[in-house]
Chain A
Amino acid sequence: MIPPRRLSPRRYAAGLAAALAIVAGSSCQRQASPNAENVVLYCSVDDVLARQVLAEFTQRSGIRVQAKYDTEAGKTTTLISTLLAERHRPRADVFWSSELFGTIRLANEGLLEVYDPPAAADIPQRFRDPDRRWTAFGLRARVLAFNPKKLSKQDLPRRWADLPAARWKGQLALANPLFGTTRGHVAAMFATRGPQAATQYLQSLADNEVRIADGNAAAVRMLARGEVLLAATDTDDVWTAKARGESIDLVYPEMADGGTLWIPNSVAVIRGGPNPQAARELVDFLCSAHVERMLAESLSRNVPVRPPLAEQLNLTLPRQCSVGYAAIAEALPQADAAAREILLR
Chain B
Amino acid sequence: MPTALAYAVRLANVLLLLLLLAVPAVGLLTSESEQASAPWPAARQWNLFIRTVLLSAGASILAVVWACLVAAGLSLLTRRGGWWLLGPLLVPPYVHAYAWSYVLAPDAVVGRALQACGLAVWTFGQARTLWVWSCWLWPIPALLMLAGWRYGARQNVELAVLDAGPGRAWLRAGMPALLPFAAAGALCCFVLALTNYSVPHLYNVNVFTTDLLAAWQVGDSVPAIAVAGWPVILTALLATAACVLSLGRLGIWSAPPPTPPTRTLLRSWTSAGPVLSALIIVVAVTLIGPLVALVCQLRHLAALWQCFVGFAEPWRTSAVIVVPGVVLAWVIAAASLRRTGRRGQGGVRSAVVLFCWTVLAVVPAVVWGSATIGGYNASAVSQWLYDRAPLVVLVLGLVGRYGWVSAWTGWLTARRLDPALDEQAHLNGATGVQRWARLHVPSAAKPLAVAAILVAALAVTELPISSMLSPPGWQTLSVRTVNLMHYQRDDQVIAIALWMIILAIVAGYFVSRAARRWFE
Interface set of A (CB-CB < 8 Å, partner B): 1-7, 9, 12-13, 15-16, 19-20, 22-24, 26-28, 30-31, 40-42, 46-48, 66-74, 77-78, 81-82, 84-89, 91-92, 170, 176, 178-179, 211-215, 217-218, 220-222, 225-227, 240-241, 244, 274, 333, 336, 340-341, 344-345
Contact = CB atoms under 8 A, between A and B. Distances in A.
B248 to A, nearest CB: 21
B373 A72 contact: no
B314 to A, nearest CB: 11
Contact of B204 (A9, A41, A214, A341): A214
Interface residues of B, number: 74
Most-contacted residue by chain B among A6, A12, A42, A212 (CB, 10 A) = A12
Contacts of A40: 472
B509 to A, nearest CB: 22
A340 B210 CA distance: 12
B201 A89 contact: no
Contact of A5 (B219, B387, B443): B443
Contacts of B480: 47
A214 B202 contact: yes
28 contacts: A2-B417, A2-B518, A4-B439, A5-B442, A6-B442, A12-B1, A12-B5, A15-B327, A16-B9, A20-B324, A23-B395, A27-B395, A47-B483, A68-B470, A68-B473, A72-B483, A74-B213, A78-B468, A81-B219, A82-B468, A178-B217, A179-B217, A211-B123, A212-B206, A217-B486, A218-B486, A227-B122, A341-B44
Contacts of B123: 170, 211, 227
A7 B445 contact: yes
Given A215-B486, A241-B488, A344-B211, A89 B377 contact: yes
A73 B486 contact: yes
Contact of B374 (A85, A218, A344, A345): A85
B392 interface: yes
A15 B441 CA distance: 15
B300 interface: no
Nearest to B395: A23
Contacts, number: 196
Given A74-B467, A225-B122, 6 more contacts: A2-B416, A22-B323, A27-B392, A68-B470, A92-B472, A345-B48
A336 B329 CA distance: 41
Nearest to A82: B373
B467 A71 contact: yes
Interface in B430-489: 438-439, 441-445, 463, 467-468, 470-475, 479-480, 482-483, 486-489
A221 B106 CA distance: 12
Residue of A213, A274, A344 most packed against chain B (CB within 10 A):
A344
Given A1-B256, A27-B390, A341-B44, A89 B472 contact: no
Contacts of A340: 214, 218
A227 to B, nearest CB: 5
Contacts of B48: 345
Contacts of A85: 370, 373-374, 377
A211 B205 CA distance: 10
Given A47-B483, A226-B107, A2 B204 contact: no
A81 to B, nearest CB: 6
A327 B292 CA distance: 51
Interface in B106-133: 106-107, 120, 122-123
B238 interface: no
Nearest to B218: A336
B99 interface: no
B265 interface: no
B391 interface: yes
Interface in B346-379: 370, 373-374, 377
Nearest to A218: B486
A157 to B, nearest CB: 21
B341 interface: no
Contacts of A23: 323-324, 327, 391-392, 395
Contact of B473 (A12, A30, A74, A170): A30
A241 B486 CA distance: 11
Contacts of A84: 219
B322 to A, nearest CB: 10
B444 A91 contact: no
Contact of A31 (B47, B380, B388): B388
B389 interface: yes
A220 B485 CA distance: 12
Contacts of B488: 217, 220-221, 240-241, 244
Contacts of A215: 486
A244 B487 CA distance: 11
B2 interface: yes
B390 A72 contact: no
B241 interface: no
B443 A81 contact: no
B444 A74 contact: no
Interface string B179-215: 0000000000000000000000110101000010110
Contact of A71 (B9, B107, B390, B483): B483
A249 to B, nearest CB: 17
Contacts of A345: 44, 47-48, 206
Nearest to A42: B472
Contacts of A69: 475, 479, 483
Contacts of B395: 23, 27
Contact of B487 (A3, A68, A217, A341): A217
A125 to B, nearest CB: 28
Given A72-B487, A85-B373, A225-B106, A66 B473 contact: yes
A318 B488 CA distance: 28
B445 A5 contact: yes
Nearest to A19: B327
Contacts of A26: 320, 391
Contact of B391 (A27, A46, A48, A220): A27
Given A27-B391, A218-B486, A344-B211, A86 B472 contact: no
Contact of B472 (A68, A178, A244): A68
Contacts of B472: 40-42, 66-68, 91-92
